[in-house]
Amino acid sequence: MTQSKKTHSKRTVKPVRRPAKTVKHPAKDAKRPLKIDRRMVGGGSVEVPSAVLRSWKELAVVSDPVKAKQNAQKFRELWKIFNKGREQISRELLQSQDTAEAYVLGFHLPNAARAALLCRRIAQRVGITAGSKPGVGSGMRLGDWLGKSFTQQRIFDLGCGSGAWSQVWLSEVRLNRNAVYLIDASRALLEMAAKGIAAVKLAAGSSASIYVETIPKAIAAFNFAQYDAPGQSLDVYIMGYVWNELINDRAAQAHVMARLESCVTLKRDALLLLAEPATDEFALGAMALRDELCAAGWVAIYPCPTGARACPMLNAKGGVRDWCFSEGGWRKPDEYMQLEEDAGIGHNKLNSAMFALASPELALRLPKMAPDLRDQTQVVVGKPLLPGGRPGLEKGFSYLLCTPDGLVKTSPKKIEIKFAKPRGSTVSGAPKLAEKSWEKSGEKSATSKRGG
Ligand SMILES: C[S@@+](CC[C@H](N)C(=O)[O-])C[C@H]1O[C@@H](n2cnc3c(N)ncnc32)[C@H](O)[C@@H]1O
């Protein structure tokens, strides 16, 4: 499938060109490269919240070794399907109870870990720096931060699957009143998603109310307006690995876009959490969606330091330069390590094209809510490899940073690439920018191995 087929709606999405995949030499004119101090950069590993983990163990029946082995085999088959051609995935695939169980076994925790990573990165961007587990650690919880401005939220988890994202979000952000709308074509997964939310609710033991509704419908048929209510609410739209599954469902994409655009005209306080696989075509699709929403007035708060401005990677002089994704560590529980062994599938780290966007109304509050969401923030978006040096000389890499002024390359590093700062981590307080060497040089995708 080519990128040009991935138009999101007829109106504004520009066709994007695939980036070159070759590793090129760094720019020669990087005269005053940036120096990055290790302490300036946020990174680290995340954990799945304990309530989410506990309910996963029950739902995926990990305590039964025979069943666990069978499900591991089914998970392996599903994994192959998901990695072959996501746009070919049949709506029927996840309908049966058996398949849903295998799906939960293998995909629920990595999805939850990605959600935890995005929560953590948002916390870092807005300046509250949560600990490694959502809600645990030295920092303030995202929920405490948002709770200063809102008392209620409505969560629309579109194509929720097993509800991993809603469960993590609710573990991290619980306001006085919470309504969760789980929308998915699979009844079997919806049932599991609702059970997982019940577990999170139970674990919370707080007076906060959580209303959950499962909606077994196609996204295109979901009537958002039916769930609108008077009173000020934070609306959270979640799209975890679902936008790419709507490639052939223009009606669904247009329906979602119309709703998100209505948040601008109706001045709603809304947040969009978007995640897509970290491959070139899906990440580029997410970047195009981000740009389209920013053109409509939304403001990117993660990872983009460019806010509402067009993505410099997608709109670089001469065409698309590269694709943007986030990386992070995940402290996997033993049971999941065992599954990876049984299924022969392993994740070294989390890779995902993740974005958080604020509606214009919410963005207006941000300078007060998050004075630390500083404009000069710089984010690691690439780690271009240096060419092999003379024999005996170590290879190195540079950091490619996204900054409010565009893309900047830093001075070469001589440490191993595996010890580099993860993509999507923030570099704050770095010295004054040297120059836009990367963009000036016209260098194309000088990027090391990209994640999928
Ligand atoms: C890859 S899963 C992701 C699940 C979940 N968002 C997560 O990240 O954990 C995609 C989900 O979207 C659902 N889905 C795909 N297309 C849909 C559509 N047009 N309407 C409703 N659900 C859809 C599938 O049933 C599946 O559960």
- CATH number, residue 243: 3.40.50.150
Burial degree of 24 (CB within 10 A; 0-12, 13-18, 19+): middle
- Ligand 1 centre distance from Cα of residue 138 (Å): 34
Residue 203: which pLDDT band, with cuts at 50, 70 and 90?
Answer: confident
- Ligand 1 centre distance from Cα of residue 275 (Å): 12
Ligand 1 within 6 A of CB of 164: yes
For residue 396, the model assigns a pLDDT of 77
Ligand 1 within 6 A of CB of 328: no
Looking at residue 137, its amino acid is G
Q: Cα(277)–Cα(452) distance, rounded to whole angstroms? A: 6
For residue 85, the model assigns a pLDDT of 67
**Is the pLDDT assigned to residue 435 strictly greater than 70?**
no
Task: Give the residue whose CA is nearest to atom 27 of ligand 1.
Answer: 161
281 assigned to some structural domain: yes
**Is the pLDDT assigned to residue 9 strictly greater than 90?**
no
- Ligand 1 centre distance from Cα of residue 91 (Å): 9
68-126: per-residue pLDDT in tens?
888 888 888 888 888 776 666 666 667 788 888 889 999 999 999 999 999 999 988 88
Candidates 185, 174, 178, 265; CA nearest to 220 is 185
184 assigned to some structural domain: yes
**Is the pLDDT assigned to residue 307 strictly greater than 60?**
yes
On average, the pLDDT of the chain sits at 81
Q: Residue 356 belongs to what domain range?
A: 45-369
Specify the ligand 1 atom closest to the Cα of 86. 1
Mutate to test the pocket of ligand 1, among 79, 245, 274, 282 (most ligand atoms within 8 A of CB): 245
256 assigned to some structural domain: yes
The first and second tokens of residue 255, run together, are 């329906």
Higher pLDDT, 62 or 400: 400
Return the DSSP state at 415. S
**Is the pLDDT assigned to residue 432 strictly greater than 50?**
no
Sequence-ordered list of residues with C-beta below 8 angstroms from that of 221, at least 6 positions apart, any chain? none
* Confidence (pTM): 0.85
Looking at residue 86, its amino acid is R
375 assigned to some structural domain: no
31 assigned to some structural domain: no
365 assigned to some structural domain: yes
Q: Cα(300)–Cα(41) distance, rounded to whole angstroms? A: 20
For residue 188, the model assigns a pLDDT of 92
314-358: per-residue pLDDT in tens?
998 887 788 999 999 999 999 999 888 888 887 778 999 999 999
Specify the ligand 1 atom closest to the Cα of 112. 9
The phi, psi pair for 41, rounded to 5°, reads: -105, 130
The first and second tokens of residue 426, run together, are 């923030």
Query: For the chain, how many structural domains are there in total?
Result: 1
262 assigned to some structural domain: yes
338 assigned to some structural domain: yes
Specify the ligand 1 atom closest to the Cα of 252. 19
